[in-house]
């Protein structure tokens, strides 16, 4: 068996499969083959890409190219350890205390590079034939797999158990399996957009293969040949950038209308917000509502949404109107494209959100994406994965396609008569969020999208509208908060029998209503946080919620999270509130509880629970979940230029183009996917007509 492997090794060296080095290397009499070796290891936040450079006998430098480790923790290891590796000329250096996972990842990366530079990676891989099970922590739980080893090679991988989503995890597992079997290496890149799933898969593979007796470090050191970058170009009527709800609906509609369509997606899986979403899509007056006995209409929906959104000075009512009046047609379109809805729900039991308008996709966002991806293929849309638009081609004021690149670093030109930008939000780009919304003191920024949509549009001459507010919520949350049964003021696990106040200590909303009612009141109070106040009865029910923040500080903001006190005055002093205002708020709330009727905000009597000492006050910091600033579009989804005229050939839909359709008081989950779908289709319909003139 060893002999077979050695033959394979010789063949591989001849064909360059183990050619791990970036740039030139030289024959040597020393310990190492001089050169630079790129290695990826999994840190705390995700992949850490490292380049280690050797001369004949020494590690010359260790450079971290990419990482998303926690600032102030993992970043310390990233800053300090490279020098230590060089000084020690070894991977065996001290870890940085408090940054163990990052330190171990860096050490692993350097030891893999050392093995590669010594050319010893392959010989130590001796595996015993058999089928081995392994488990690793992936998305929402473990992934367990079975690896078959035959003739000292990985010949099959079967997923036995996984809690991951189909469109992200399962698709990533499939791609990783193919690559690992092809290259007989655990050094393959993780799938972009599926980092957590990839990490879990690698951990499970390592677990299984170590049972087969493999040297895991050596398996990771078997590097992959990357072909040289190429320059290519492709032509189509329509180019769609981004494979979320907006991009997929645009591409399918354009193909339905007879255009040739290319869709490019930056990630290795369809893993944008749409796939990660709950899959709720709003629609009014739909056939599905009729089947379920729900009496609704676009008129009623428009009236409801405008009763909430009317307060925004920058709102464009015509854009909203189009979304609402085209929403029923969107639901039909989705059903025709095999999206299955399993139920209808309302956002709240209170008006104006009490009508069941949310069409809930079976298997949530993953089910929605799965159906649409299948129809992209069915309808002949050419899809390029791992392909990111880098620049919109604007020739004399007319958009004629985009430049892009992929995992090989290719220089790709997509020539198109019309380009539809659907590259999503900047909600996951912390720096961009801070830059675009400097007035929000966020404890956590946890949206999704890296902001390419914003940047591509802006660089191509689009008129950008910057809003003062992103999508934000004030609720009991901080990164690292323990798992709790309820989270005061959250949308996901809310609780009703509490008192919520705005930033000055006044009760401003029904705590049982949709949480954005409360959020809007806090935001417009001009404060950076709200408060939750409870007493001994709530403590008896949820002690862990009351205690979660006691004696702790918010990791980002640095101030104390919660306090237990015997008097309301103490609460007020701690929170820097006017004691008279807070006392009046608590007294009034207790008075209404005793009365059994919420005369102020109409909360159900059963949720009116007195607040008696000892009291607990919890700060509800701003948690940012999405960005609203972006490109201005018209009702045809044409992008408006800085001269206030549509830019010919340039369209946008989805999260990168919603600034005139947003409100601090978000109407609710389901509004976003509806807006993406309506404007994705509108863009396609107008673009196809535009193409006929070209
Ligand atoms: C957890 C969660 C749950 C949600 N639930 C709901 C819900 O139930 N209902 C609802 O209405 N809204 C929901 N939302 C919001 C909703 O998911 C988004 O508003 C919507 O999916 C945005 O769609 P999109 O097409 O604009 O962007 P995305 O779905 O994010 O798609 C954009 C795509 O563009 C790709 N891309 C980015 N840059 C480039 C580039 N340079 N080149 C090529 N491709 C690029 C991205 O990789 C991505 O795949 C939820 C959001 C989250 C985070």
* Of residues 128, 111, 129, 108, the one with CA closest to residue 120: 111
Q: Is 351 exposed, middle or buried (0-12, 13-18, 19+ CB in 10 A)?
A: exposed
Which helix or strand (DSSP H or E) is residue 156 part of? Answer: strand 153-162
Ligand 1 center from residue 480 Cα (angstroms): 24
501 lines ligand 1 (CB under 6 A): no
Bridge partners, residue 680, by sequence: none
Q: Give 130-221's CATH code, choosing from 3.40.1390.10, 3.90.1010.20, 1.10.1040.10, 3.40.50.280.
A: 3.90.1010.20
Atom 4 (ligand 1) nearest CA: 277
Which one of 274, 372, 393, 637 would you pick to mutate in the ligand 1 pocket, going by the greatest count of ligand atoms within 8 A of its CB?
274
Give the DSSP H/E element, type plus range, for residue 240.
strand 231-241
pLDDT of residue 19: 29
3-class SS at 162?
strand
Confidence of residue 27 (pLDDT cuts 50, 70, 90): low
Helix (H) or strand (E) holding 384: strand 382-384
In angstroms, the Cα distances linking 479 to 87, 423, 518 are 36, 27, 22
Q: How many angstroms from the chain centroid is the CA of residue 141?
A: 18
Res 322: pLDDT: 98
Of 105-119, 194-208, 520-534, the range with the lowest mean pLDDT is: 105-119
Q: Is 653 in the pocket of ligand 1 (CB under 6 A)?
A: no
How much is the average pLDDT of 584-612?
97
Q: Identify the pLDDT of residue 224.
A: 78
Reported as a pLDDT band with limits 50, 70 and 90, residue 28 is low
Give the whole-angstrom CA distance, residue 229 versus residue 108: 28
Q: Cα–chain-centroid distance for residue 550?
A: 30
Q: Give me the CATH topology for the region 232-470+627-692.
A: FAD/NAD(P)-binding domain (3.50.50)
* Cβ–ligand 1 contact at 585 (below 6 Å): no
Q: What is the pLDDT of residue 121?
A: 56
pLDDT over 70, % of the chain: 95
Ramachandran angles phi, psi of 390, nearest 5°: -115, -20
pLDDT tens digits, 440-490: 989 998 888 999 999 999 999 999 999 999 999 999 999 899 999 999 999
Give, in order, the Cα–Cα distances in Å from 302 to each of 285, 658, 679.
11, 17, 17
Q: How confident is the model at residue 115 (pLDDT cuts 50, 70, 90)?
A: confident
Q: Which of 40, 314, 360, 345 is nearest to 202 (CA)?
A: 40
3-state helix, strand, coil in the chain (%, to 5): 35, 25, 40
CATH domain 471-625 topology: Flavocytochrome C3; Chain A, domain 1 (3.90.700)
CA–CA dist 79, 69 (Å, integer): 11
Asked whether this chain's domains 19-118 and 130-221 adopt the same fold, the reply is yes
pLDDT at 26: 56
Among candidate residues 379, 443, 377, 462, the one with its CA nearest the CA of residue 647: 462
CB atoms within 10 A of CB 321: 15
Between CA 450 and CA 461 the distance in angstroms is 20
Confidence band (pLDDT; 50, 70, 90) for 426?
A: very high
How do the domains of the chain map onto residue ranges? 19-118, 130-221, 232-470+627-692, 471-625
**% of the chain with per-residue pLDDT over 90:** 81
Calpha distance 88→58 (Å, rounded): 9
- Confidence band, pLDDT 50/70/90 cuts, at residue 25: low
Q: What is the ipTM of this complex?
A: 0.99
Q: How confident is the model at residue 3 (pLDDT cuts 50, 70, 90)?
A: very low
Q: If pLDDT is split at 50, 70 and 90, which confidence band does 222 have?
A: confident
- The answer to whether residues 579 and 567 touch, using CB atoms and an 8 Å cutoff, is no
Ligand 1 center–CA 252 separation, angstroms: 17
Q: How far is the CA of 455 from the centre of ligand 1 (A)?
A: 16
Read off φ and ψ for residue 230, nearest 5 degrees. -125, 165
Q: What is the mean pLDDT of residues 53-71?
A: 90
Q: Whose CA is nearest to atom 35 of ligand 1?
A: 242
Is the pLDDT reported for residue 108 higher than 60? yes
367 close to ligand 1 (CB < 6 Angstrom): no
pLDDT for the residue 12 = 32
Residue whose CB lies within 8 A of the most ligand 1 atoms, among 244, 401, 419, 473, for a mutation test: 244
CA 226 to CA 21: how far, in whole Å? 10
pLDDT at 18 over 70: no
pLDDT bucket at 30, cuts 50 / 70 / 90: confident
Higher pLDDT, 646 or 218: 646
Residue 2: predicted pLDDT? 33
pLDDT computed for residue 427 by the predictor: 92
Q: What CATH architecture does domain 19-118 belong to?
A: Alpha-Beta Complex (3.90)
State the Cα–Cα distance between residues 272 and 265, nearest whole angstrom.
Answer: 9
245 CA to middle of ligand 1, Å?
7
Within 277-384, where are the H helices? 287-291, 298-309, 317-325, 327-336, 364-378
- Give the pLDDT confidence of 618-638 residue by residue, as tens digits: 999 999 999 999 999 999 999
Q: Is residue 679 predicted with pLDDT exceeding 50?
A: yes
Stretch 13-20: mean pLDDT: 30
Per-residue pLDDT tens over the stretch 363-384: 999 999 999 999 999 999 999 9
- For residue 436, give every residue at least 6 positions away whose Cβ sits within 8 Å of its Cβ, in sequence order, or none: 426, 454, 466, 470, 627, 629
């Amino acid at each position: 068996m060893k002999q077979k492997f050695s033959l394979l090794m010789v063949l591989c060296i001849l064909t360059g499969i183990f050619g791990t080095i970036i740039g030139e290397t030289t024959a040597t009499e020393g310990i190492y083959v001089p050169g630079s070796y790129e290695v990826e290891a999994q840190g705390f936040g995700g992949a850490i890409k490292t380049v280690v450079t050797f001369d004949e006998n020494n590690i010359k430098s260790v450079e971290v190219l990419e990482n998303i480790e926690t600032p102030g923790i993992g970043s310390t290891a990233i800053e300090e350890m490279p020098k230590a590796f060089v000084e020690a000329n070894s991977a065996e250096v001290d870890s940085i205390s408090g940054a163990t996972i990052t330190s171990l990842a860096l050490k692993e990366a350097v030891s893999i590079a050392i093995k590669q530079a010594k050319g010893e990676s392959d010989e130590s891989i001796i595996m015993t034939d058999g089928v081995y099970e392994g488990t690793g922590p992936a998305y929402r739980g473990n992934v367990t797999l079975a690896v078959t080893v035959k003739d000292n090679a990985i010949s099959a991988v079967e997923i036995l158990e996984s809690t991951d989503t189909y469109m992200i995890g399962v698709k990533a597992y499939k791609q990783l399996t193919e690559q690992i079997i092809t290259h007989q290496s655990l050094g393959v890149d993780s799938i972009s957009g599926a980092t957590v799933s990839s990490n879990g898969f690698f951990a499970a593979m390592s677990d299984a293969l170590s049972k087969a007796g493999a040297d895991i470090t050596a398996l990771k050191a078997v590097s992959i040949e990357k072909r040289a970058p190429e320059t290519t170009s492709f032509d189509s009527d329509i180019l769609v950038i981004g494979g979320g709800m907006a991009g997929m609906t645009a591409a399918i509609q354009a193909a339905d209308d007879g255009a040739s369509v290319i869709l490019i997606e930056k990630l290795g899986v369809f893993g944008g917000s749409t796939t990660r979403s709950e899959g709720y899509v709003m629609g009014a007056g739909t056939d599905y509502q009729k089947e379920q006995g729900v009496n609704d209409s676009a008129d009623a929906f428009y009236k409801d949404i405008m009763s909430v959104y009317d307060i925004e000075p920058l709102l464009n009512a015509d854009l909203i109107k189009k979304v609402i009046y085209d929403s029923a047609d969107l639901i039909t379109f989705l059903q025709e494209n095999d999206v299955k809805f399993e139920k209808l729900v309302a956002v709240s039991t209170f008006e104006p959100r009490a009508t069941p308008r949310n069409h809930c996709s079976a298997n949530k966002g993953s089910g929605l994406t799965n159906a649409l991806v299948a129809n992209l293929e069915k309808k002949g849309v050419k899809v390029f994965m791992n392909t990111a638009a880098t620049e919109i081609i604007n020739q004399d004021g007319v958009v004629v396609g985009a430049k892009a690149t992929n995992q090989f670093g290719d220089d790709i030109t997509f020539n198109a008569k019309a380009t539809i930008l659907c590259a999503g939000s900047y909600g996951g780009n912390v720096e961009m969020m801070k830059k675009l919304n400097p007035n929000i003191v966020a404890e956590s920024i946890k949206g999704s999208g890296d902001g390419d949509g914003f940047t591509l549009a802006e660089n191509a001459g689009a008129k950008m509208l910057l809003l003062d507010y992103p999508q934000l919520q004030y609720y009991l949350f901080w990164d690292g908060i323990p798992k709790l049964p309820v989270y005061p003021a959250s949308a996901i696990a809310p609780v009703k029998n509490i008192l919520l106040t705005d930033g000055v200590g006044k009760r401003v909303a029904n705590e049982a209503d949709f949480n954005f009612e409360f959020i809007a009141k806090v935001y417009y109070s001009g404060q950076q946080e709200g408060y939750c106040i409870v007493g001994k009865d709530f403590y008896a029910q949820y002690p862990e919620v009351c205690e979660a923040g006691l004696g702790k500080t918010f990791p980002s903001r640095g101030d104390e999270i919660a306090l237990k006190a015997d008097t309301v005055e103490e609460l007020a002093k701690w929170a820097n509130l006017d004691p008279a205002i807070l006392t009046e708020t608590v007294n009034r709330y207790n008075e209404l509880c005793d009365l059994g009727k919420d005369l102020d905000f109409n909360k159900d009597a059963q949720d009116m629970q007195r607040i008696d000492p000892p009291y607990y006050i919890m700060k509800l910091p701003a948690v940012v979940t999405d960005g609203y600033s972006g490109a201005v579009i018209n009702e045809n989804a044409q992008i408006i230029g800085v001269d206030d005229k549509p830019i010919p050939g340039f369209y946008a839909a989805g999260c990168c183009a919603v600034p005139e359709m947003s409100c601090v008081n978000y109407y609710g989950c389901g509004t976003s996917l509806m807006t993406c779908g309506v404007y994705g289709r509108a863009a396609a319909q107008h673009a196809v007509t535009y193409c006929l003139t070209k």
